[in-house]
Homo-oligomer: A and B are copies of this chain.
Amino acid sequence: MNKGALALLVHGGTDNWSPERWKTRFEAVCGGRPVWRIPDRDCNPADVHYAAVWKPAPGELAAFPNLRVIFNLGAGVDALMADKTLPRVPLVRISVDDLTMRMTEYVVLHVLMHHRQELYLRACQREKRWEPRVQWAANAISVGIMGLGTLGSAAAGALRHLGFRVSGWSRSPKNIAGIECFHGEGQIDAFLRQANILVSLLPFTPDTRHILNRGLFAKLNRNSPLGAPVLINAGRGGLQNEADILACLDDGTLGAVSLDVFETEPLPSDSRFWTHPKVILTPHNAADTDADEISKYVAQQIERFEAGQALENVVDSARGY
């Protein structure tokens, strides 16, 4: 029996993320299944059952009449969901432990940097000032996580382990040991009112566009040793109203922010985010993924699918993630 082919629609990656490397990598784990790097004149589109994609051109996937599953080689599927010609077959998100652990590292690092007054301490070092300030314990700080999927739950657990009070908000109800869980529109204000550090790990959908705005920041809790609340966004740039963030940093509504994502990436050199003293900025590298782990994950899901088992991490097209 011929195995259905896997088509690779990978555009724009370099080095380890180049289309050629992905082809070699998938051939190594797909046990004899044909792997085509698109475009390839020798590929018969009708043979293709699976597509692994990274930033495919709009409409490009419609060329495969027998497509059964699309795998996105990253966690965020917002760009794909915007393609109205996307074939109506299951779309699978990447969910590998490696990516989850890297995002947890990022969240823990940035929560600790704000909690432990790193912006102040680095300024002291630059100015040669030996002036320790009072340092509070982790349990004086409530970290609120927006988005309680795989990434949010793992980050919440690690922060609990370090002694922070942790709560979370998600669209649908969740139950996570040790974490106070809020959900839905009805509970978002109660969630915000008790959060001193807000961590955004939300998916980007039409519902969440610019959800991180002045109205939301103004509801955050100011009764902690931090004083003004802190925002950490490691989700998507489109979640944030960037003009609001800058204005809220300037007028004290926000005390500081860590941003890994921006509405325009790379961030333009004239952006005020580069130089604002209350901004810690990273170049969308919160959770790089190990490409080998991703290809193994895709091969595993194809095996499950062909054995008649349910695919994991299928995107709900109504919710958009």
Complex formed: what's the CA distance from A163 to B155 in Å?
13
- A161 to B, closest residue via Cβ: B161
Task: Identify which of A113, A284, A285 gathers the most chain B CB atoms within 10 Å of its CB.
Answer: A285
Is there a chain B Cβ closer than 8 Å to A269's Cβ? Answer: yes
- A99 to B, closest residue via Cβ: B137
Assess the B16–A128 pair: CB atoms within 8 A: no
Among B121, B132, B137, B288, which residue has its beta carbon within 8 angstroms of that of A135?
Answer: B288
Assess the B163–A101 pair: CB atoms within 8 A: yes
Q: Tell me the chain A residues, 112-127 only, with Cβ under 8 Å from chain B.
A: 112-113, 115-116, 118, 121-122, 124-125
Assess the A285–B105 pair: CB atoms within 8 A: no
A72 CB, nearest partner CB in chain B, Å:
20
* Interface residue tally for chain A (C-beta within 8 Å): 47
Contacts of A283 in B (CB 8 A): 121, 124, 130-132
A118 CB, nearest partner CB in chain B, Å:
8
Assess the B162–A104 pair: CB atoms within 8 A: yes
Contact with B along A264-304 (1 / 0, CB 8 A): 01110100001100011111110010100000000000000
Assess the B121–A282 pair: CB atoms within 8 A: yes
Contact with B along A115-154 (1 / 0, CB 8 A): 1101001101100101111110110000000000000000
Assess the A101–B131 pair: CB atoms within 8 A: no
Is there a chain B Cβ closer than 8 Å to A28's Cβ? Answer: no
Is there a chain B Cβ closer than 8 Å to A64's Cβ? Answer: no
A152 CB, nearest partner CB in chain B, Å:
16
Contacts of A138 in B (CB 8 A): 101-102, 105
Is there a chain B Cβ closer than 8 Å to A109's Cβ? Answer: yes
Is there a chain B Cβ closer than 8 Å to A158's Cβ? Answer: yes
- A98 to B, closest residue via Cβ: B137
Assess the B101–A105 pair: CB atoms within 8 A: no
A290 CB, nearest partner CB in chain B, Å:
6
- A101 to B, closest residue via Cβ: B163
Is there a chain B Cβ closer than 8 Å to A53's Cβ? Answer: no
Contacts of A162 in B (CB 8 A): 101, 104-105, 108, 158
Contacts of A113 in B (CB 8 A): 109, 113
Complex formed: what's the CA distance from A290 to B128 in Å?
27
- A104 to B, closest residue via Cβ: B162
Contacts of A161 in B (CB 8 A): 158, 161
- A265 to B, closest residue via Cβ: B130
13 extra interchain contacts, Cβ-Cβ under 8 A, other than A105-B138, A113-B113, A132-B283?
A15-B134, A102-B138, A105-B162, A105-B163, A109-B113, A121-B282, A125-B280, A128-B275, A130-B266, A130-B283, A131-B283, A135-B285, A158-B161
Write 28 A-B pairs (CB below 8 A) sorted by A numbering: A98-B137, A101-B137, A102-B135, A104-B162, A105-B162, A106-B116, A108-B108, A108-B112, A109-B109, A109-B113, A109-B116, A109-B118, A113-B113, A122-B122, A124-B283, A125-B274, A125-B281, A128-B274, A130-B265, A130-B266, A131-B283, A132-B283, A132-B288, A134-B288, A135-B285, A135-B288, A158-B161, A158-B162
